[in-house]
Amino acid sequence: MLKRLRKSKFAHETLGFLLAAYIRLVRRTNRFDQPNIEELTDGKLPVIVAMWHGQHFMIPFARPKTMPRLAALISRHGDAGANVAALRWLDIIPIRGSGGRAERMRQKGGVEAMREMLRALAEGTTVAMTADIPKRARVAGLGIVTLARLSGRPIAPVAVVTSRRFEFKSWDRAAIGKPFGRGVIEVGDFIHVPPDADEATMEELRRAVEKGLDDAHRRAYAKVGAVDPGAGLRQD
């Protein structure tokens, strides 16, 4: 009975509302040091926002006022229902699906999600997605680079960190901010993927995404006097 209740739409909507409310509380009660995102994105929207898994909870804070529409890729897994509801409460469009190995892409909704993200970008909606391969922390997959190649839109590595936060011993060293602290938003150099990029170029730019995200998180954590808990997770 309890298990069915946890998986019910009512439970997901309630948990999603509470998560969104908490994220808004963190945003209102932290003093943020951030770049002029409106200036950084002027004439460049829509973009593809790259995030590291586990460091993505605070990413909505980086949304500039000039970004009217924002979508985010989220897993089709049943446990993601509350996260989907939270996105809606935060006025973010959820796109269901995930990547992984090629033979499992269709089963996990990756192909349909890619089409939906391409459609969103073509309509002027910025798309946010974690760059990691599923369950491979800090290892960027080719999915985000492929999206950039097919859409012609640049990738923006983004990190959002707060001085007070919960840190978890999960596979991705997840962290979520606490209220009443300082916050930092870091945006790395935009990464452009040419439409005719060959295999070697795609691999080079995949690594550029990793470096851009690592650098953004290192700078952000340093500004709040901390060390990125996910640094060193990737085994090159």
Q: Give DSSP secondary structure letters for the chain.
A: -HHHHHTSHHHHHHHHHHHHHHHHHHHHHSEEE---HHHHHTTT-S-EEEE-TTS-TTGGGG--TT---EEEEE--SGGGHHHHHHHHHTT-EEEE----SHHHHTTTTHHHHHHHHHHHHHTT-EEEEE-EETTEEEEE-SHHHHHHHHH-PPEEEEEEEESSEEE--STT--EEE-SSSEEEEEE---B---TT--HHHHHHHHHHHHHHHHHHHHHHHHHTT---TTTT----
Inter-residue contact 117 to 153 (CB < 8 Å): no
The CATH number assigned to the domain holding 8 equals 3.40.1130
Which residue range(s) make up the domain with 146? 2-223
Is 74 within the bounds of a domain? yes
Residue 128 lies in a domain: yes
pLDDT at 126 over 80: yes
- Residue 13, pLDDT above cutoff 80: yes
- Confidence class for position 234, pLDDT limits 50, 70, 90: confident
Q: Is the pLDDT of residue 63 over 60?
A: yes
pLDDT, tens digit, for every residue of 187-207? Answer: 999 999 999 999 999 999 999
Q: Is residue 71 part of a domain?
A: yes
Q: What percent of the chain has pLDDT over 90?
A: 74
- Confidence class for position 99, pLDDT limits 50, 70, 90: low
Residue 79 binned pLDDT confidence (cut-offs 50, 70, 90): low
Give the range among 1-5, 27-31, 63-67 with minimum mean pLDDT.
1-5
| Cα torsion 215, 128, 167, 140: sign | negative
- Identify the weakest region by mean pLDDT among 34-43, 48-57, 62-71, 171-180: 34-43
Look at the chain and report how many structural domains it folds into: 1
Question: For residues 54 and 170, is the Cβ–Cβ distance under 8 A?
Answer: yes
Please report whether residue 106 resides in a domain. Answer: yes
Domain-embedded: residue 232: no
Q: Does residue 75 belong to any structural domain of this protein?
A: yes
Q: Could you give the percent of the chain with pLDDT greater than 70? A: 90
